[in-house]
Amino acid sequence: MLERIVQHAYLDVKLIYMGRKAGEGSHLSNYSTLPAPTPEGGLNRYMQEIRKFPMLEPEQEYMLAKRWVEDQDTVAAHKLVTSHLRLAAKIAMGYRGYGLPQAEVISEANVGLMQAVKRFDPEKGFRLSTYAMWWIRASIQEYILRSWSLVKLGTTSAQKKLFFNLRKAKSRIGALEEGDLRPENVKQIANDLGVTEAEVISMNRRMSGGDASLNATVGSDGDSTMQWQDWLEDEDADQAADYEARDEMTARRELLAEAMEVLNDREKDILTQRRLSEETVTLEDLSAAYDVSRERIRQIEVRAFEKLQTRMRELAQEKGMMATA
């Protein structure tokens, strides 16, 4: 049920302050009044709106949480969410340095808050704010990692920790210059954050510059048709070796086709189906097809293979393809 509240809140981000009403006639219609930050309204107006919701006393919070857990009371859940919107906004303000719209970051913080309300157990003995902080930060960080770059970032917990703490670590040791870090600074940050020095160097370079398209043209005059991707080199490519391998494979196939002419039609068919096909035909199936015993099919196969090998050696010598000792 609370997932529907979350979805409804996402609609409110688009509809609130625009004079529209969402959810009329629904048991969740009261969520159409849930404030949401928008570029049109501005953050100041949003902060004024959420300050109107009163803070809850511990006993009030406990009773509302009980109503939600036991009766799925959406009115109680609404009060729990709105009373903690200031907390979500405060935490979201701490993530202003990633170049993302602050309204979107706050919206993600609110989603994390709603998830916390959904899972909150009032019998554990701690306040909702203490529990919600983890969910709010997790929701914000997931959004930042998803949106900050087209390239996936932070696949492990250590890398996520590095992404969100690298700037603080650089500031703490006074490494504020642009570009690569000094070796001693890399070593210190790696030790402090529990990651490798290579990970520190890689993350610092990725955070120092934004995404760039490989389809962008080289040069600033606008007349160039060369793109950055045209300068990429395939380090694994060896064209000479590739051509040589293809030529050798073509020669072997031609040699095999010519050598097959030494076999009669039955030998060709049996050898092809037994040794040259992707799906090998069984001796039993071939014996039924030719109305002979399985042992006879096996003998024809072996004899045909020996004849083929002999003929291929002869042809290879004639064509000068045999290696000399």
pLDDT tens digits for range 174-231: 776 666 788 888 888 888 888 888 888 777 777 665 555 556 666 655 555 666 566 6
- Is residue 138 a contact partner of residue 116, using CB atoms and an 8 Å limit? no
| pLDDT mean over 78-82 | 93
| pLDDT mean over 4-29 | 37
Nearest Cα to Cα of residue 127 among 56, 74, 79: 56
Q: For the ranges 24-33, 62-71, 83-92, 138-147, which has the lowest average pLDDT?
A: 24-33
Structural domains for the chain: 2-147 (1.20.120), 157-208 (no CATH), 251-318 (1.10.10.10)
* Better-scored residue on pLDDT, 167 or 136: 136
| Token duo for residue 316 | 């290879």
275-299 tens-digit pLDDT: 888 888 899 999 999 999 989 999 9
pLDDT of 307 strictly over 70: yes
Phi, psi of 11 (to 5 degrees): -65, -40
